[in-house]
A and B are shown apart, each in its own frame.
Chain A
Amino acid sequence: MPRYAQPGDEVHPGHPVTVSRYGPLARLNHWITALSLILLALSGLAMFHPSLFFLSDLFGGGQNTRAFHPWIGVVLFASFFVFFFQLWRANLPERTDVVWLSRIRDVVAGNEESLPELGKYNAGQKFIFWSMAFLILVLIGTGIVIWDRYFETATTIETQRVAVLVHSIAAVLIICIFILHVYAAIWTRGTLRAMTRGTVTGGWAWRHHRKWLRELAGQRKTKPAK
């Protein structure tokens, strides 16, 4: 049983070496989730603060924004949790995560050399993964409570008030997480292709997820040659 590698992860020798990180299904899943989250953020923000109400025009006005938002939420929820079950094992915390976190300054500074070798995900990615999972659960739960079209009478107004408050706080948090996630992906060059082409370069894997790379490399050699 591999420790870090997931089904489909594979190294391809070459110049440079490429490593399959996400299969087509996972990528599709990711981008549906991402798109949903973006649409939810935009429509949610339109209803969150008057200065952002103009965003509702993207959806064809406030009525549509209000109507689409919860349905997109349902899509996000479904899509994310398909994704979740693919990745959760690789996101289980480890001892090295603590070391990594304790050297967060080096992380931000890009001093990768002073960090421990990591598996498929670093602590930051795991944090994002678990935060997303938790916040999406909170958002879908509270979202259903305030989805008046279908659930208006299911709960008391007092419950709905709490729900709408929690929903908005959770939404703020998930947007923050989202920003971190996106920025980290951009800042860490060579990352985006994992979600576009599905592969990263061996160097990227060496630099950021060496243990994972080693495991894959080891796996390849134990397997009979093609």
Chain B
Amino acid sequence: MNDSPRTAVSNPPTQSMISNLGPGDLVRRSATESLPPPERQLTPVAKLIDVSKCIGCKACQSACVEWNDTTPAIGENVGVYTNPHDLTENMFTLMRFTEWVNPETDSLEWLIRKDGCMHCADPGCLKACPAPGAIVQYTNGIVDFIHENCIGCGYCVKGCPFNIPRISKADHRSYKCTLCSDRVAVGQGPACAKACPTQAIVFGTKEDMKAHAAGRIEDLKSRGYSNAGLYDPPGVGGTHVMYVLHHADKPHIYAGLPDDPRISPIVQTWKGLTKYVGLAAMGLLAAGSVVHGLFARPNRVAPEDEAHAEQLVESPPGGSRETA
């Protein structure tokens, strides 16, 4: 069994390989209370997107469509280069274009960011998911959607700090970038990284990618981008898709990349306190009722009550003893 692939540019292995991402490689499984510990630890992988090298050619989008065999709609132009206009169940990755005038230099910068799943170490989607096994996280860091288990509730959309998953209107299942888990499992890098002509998208072990990023950041600093840096947000435990940004001090300028993403406290409350307290409250109340019913005397209608009623109904009009 092979460990994680180290690069996306090498040619595929020529011998057939057994997938190295099986049930024994899971560290997390949605809506699953007790998951057996993984059988082994694969080297964590990461995709590094160097925004400063990206030319916005959308080869990654094409490669993604081709590999995943999706059928994005032919939309319309709404005055921008971002097409389709948002991620969809048929477009797992999207170049987002932002025209930004740098206030320091007064010169235009065209920021092009490849949007898609960040593969958080602490995935909000997985936390929110109510369907057992619909979202899994492998020991190499990939967060994957197992579509046959998906119920299409959209909770992952609410759980995600990056607004990534999309629910198909056709089959009502949630879709997003898989980091090409099916390729990575057999020693290949993601299709987008393979297709990227400028190697703005590179793939390898997370450690290697951080080292690569360090070199890129140094280069950017030499070109006057003093705030160049790596986007590996700690709020979600780091991500397995990272960005090199020329302006790492303000990620939001890159089409709203969150400055400090974390799982929303509302989602935390929902999936934490509410879940446990709510279950306890309902359970206790039901149990209490049963106990009360078993041990307390039922509230029965006594024969006197019936007599009183008969008396009341039969008594002459105008009043009765009781009301006197």
- Closest approach, in angstroms, between the C-beta of A141 and any C-beta of chain B? 16
| B180 interfacial by beta-carbon distance below 8 Å | no
| Closest-CB distance, A67 to chain B (whole angstroms) | 7
Q: Which residue of A lies closest to B314 (CB)?
A: A13
How far, in angstroms, from A149 to B171 measured CA to CA in the complex? 11
- Set of chain B residues within 8 Å of A16, measured between Cβ atoms: 306, 309-310
A160 and B158 contact, CB distance less than 8 A: yes
Complex Cα spacing A162 to B267, Å: 8
Q: Which of B33, B309, B322 contacts A201 (CB 8 A)?
A: B309
A203-B301 contact in complex given A50-B33, A66-B152, A164-B155, C-beta closer than 8 Å? yes
Q: How far is the CB of A185 from chain B (nearest CB, A)?
A: 11
Task: Flag if B301 contacts A189 (CB, 8 Å).
Answer: yes
Given the contacts A169-B278, A214-B323, A62 and B158 also touching, CB distance less than 8 Å: no
The answer to whether B224 has its CB under 8 Å from any CB of chain A is: no
- Answer whether residue B101 sits at the interface, using C-beta atoms and an 8 A cutoff: no
* Measured CA separation A217–B282 after assembly (Å): 40
A residues less than 8 Å from B304 (CB atoms) = 203
- Taking a contact as CB atoms under 8 Å apart, the answer to whether B305 and A204 are in contact is yes
A204 contacts which of B130, B269, B292, B301 (Cβ < 8 Å)? B301
| Nearest Cβ on chain B to A176's Cβ, whole angstroms | 5
Main secondary structure on A side of the interface with B:
helix
- Which of A11, A168, A203 makes the CB contact (< 8 A) with B302? A203
B31 touches A63 (CB 8 A): no
Interface string of A183-226 (1 = CB under 8 A from B): 10011111000000000011111110000011001101110000
Q: Is A179 an interface residue (CB 8 A)?
A: yes
Instruction: Check B131 for interface membership: any CB of A closer than 8 A.
Output: yes
Query: Do B313 and A201 touch (CB < 8 A)?
Result: no
| Interface residue? B132 (CB, 8 A) | yes
Does B108 interact with chain A (Cβ within 8 Å)? no
B2 at the interface (CB under 8 A from A): no
| Cβ of B75 under 8 Å from chain A | no
Q: Does B10 belong to the interface (CB within 8 Å)?
A: no
Contact with B along A102-114 (1 / 0, CB 8 A): 0000001110100
CB within 8 A of A203: which of B131, B151, B309, B317? B309
Q: Does B296 contact A (CB under 8 A)?
A: yes
B window 20-56: CB within 8 A of A: 31-33
- Which residue of B is nearest A171, CB measured? B278
Cα distance A169–B274 when bound, in Å?
7
Q: Does A82 contact B (CB under 8 A)?
A: no
Choice from A56, A109, A190, A217 contacting B301 with Cβ under 8 Å: A190
Please name all residues of chain A whose beta carbon is closer than 8 Å to the beta carbon of B33 when the two chains form the complex. Answer: 50-51
Q: Mark B252-278, 1 if CB is under 8 A from A, else 0.
A: 000000000000101101100011011
Q: Does A172 contact B (CB under 8 A)?
A: yes
Complex interface residues of chain A between 138 and 193 (CB less than 8 A to chain B): 146, 148-149, 152, 157-158, 160-162, 164-165, 168-169, 171-172, 175-176, 179-180, 182-183, 186-190
- B169 CB to closest chain A CB (Å) equals 8
Contact at A148–B323, with CB atoms within 8 Å?
Answer: no
What string of 1s and 0s marks CB contacts (under 8 Å) between B149-168 and chain A? 11111110110000100010
* Cβ < 8 Å to B, chain A residues 9-48: 11, 13, 15-17, 46-48
User: B297 at interface (Cβ–Cβ under 8 A)?
Assistant: yes
- Knowing A157-B158, A165-B269, the reply to whether A207 touches B302 (Cβ < 8 A) is yes
Would you call B79 an interface residue if the criterion is a C-beta within 8 Å of the partner chain's C-beta atoms? Answer: no
Contact with B along A40-82 (1 / 0, CB 8 A): 0000001111111100100001110111000000000000000
Cα distance A213–B312 in the bound complex, in angstroms: 9
Q: Considering the chains assembled together, what is the distance between the CA atoms of A122 and B289 in angstroms?
A: 19
Report B126 CB to chain A, min CB distance, Å: 12
Q: Is the CB of B172 within 8 A of A161?
A: no
* Interface residues, chain B, with chain A CB atoms under 8 Å away: 31-33, 130-132, 134, 149-155, 157-158, 163, 167, 169, 172, 264, 266-267, 269-270, 274-275, 277-279, 281-282, 285-286, 289, 292-293, 296-310, 312-318, 320, 322-323
Between A and B, 22 residue pairs with Cβ closer than 8 Å are: A13-B310, A13-B314, A48-B279, A67-B172, A160-B158, A165-B266, A165-B270, A168-B278, A176-B281, A179-B282, A183-B289, A190-B300, A202-B306, A202-B308, A202-B313, A203-B301, A203-B302, A203-B304, A203-B307, A204-B305, A206-B305, A206-B308
Closest 4 CB pairs of A and B: A202-B309, A62-B151, A203-B306, A203-B305
Residues of A within 8 A of B (CB): 11, 13, 15-17, 46-53, 56, 61-63, 65-67, 108-110, 112, 146, 148-149, 152, 157-158, 160-162, 164-165, 168-169, 171-172, 175-176, 179-180, 182-183, 186-190, 201-207, 213-214, 217-218, 220-222
11 new A-B contacts at CB < 8 Å, known A62-B149, A203-B303: A13-B310, A16-B309, A47-B151, A47-B155, A152-B154, A168-B275, A188-B299, A201-B306, A203-B301, A206-B305, A220-B313
